[in-house]
Amino acid sequence: MYIVTSTVTVPEEKTDDLIAIYKNRSRRVDKAEGFHSFRLIQNTKKPNELTVHLEWHSKEAYMKWVKSNEFKEIHELEKHYPDQQLAGIVPKVRQYEVVAE
């Protein structure tokens, strides 16, 4: 299993807006080969810190997704959010290999 996280800290007043965006996400990644699950998680001590948590069957599956046209299209759309304050936030991305269960 391979896990990728993408964490952002948004202005407090934008937290619900970002949650709404993810609740209405395109779900295109859900159809990618090797995709396992998506979760948007919220820090309990810092509610304006949100993390996208993606699970993949393998690093290879994730890398195939990253190189796909769909990935590029989705991330290009993110640059054009109506809310430019959200569009300008750069996430902190981390990648993990599951080594024990």
pLDDT at position 80 is: 64
Which ranges of the chain would DSSP assign to H, the alpha helix? 15-23, 59-66, 69-78, 84-87
Tell me the average confidence (pLDDT) per consecutive run of 10 residues in the chain, 101 residues long. 97 93 91 97 98 98 95 76 75 97 92
Q: Which CATH number fits domain 2-97: 3.30.70.100, 3.60.150.10, 3.20.20.410, 3.40.50.300?
A: 3.30.70.100
Q: Where are the domains of the chain?
A: 2-97
Predicted confidence at residue 54, as pLDDT, reads: 98
Residue 79 confidence (pLDDT):
64
* Cβ proximity of 38 and 52 under 8 Å: yes
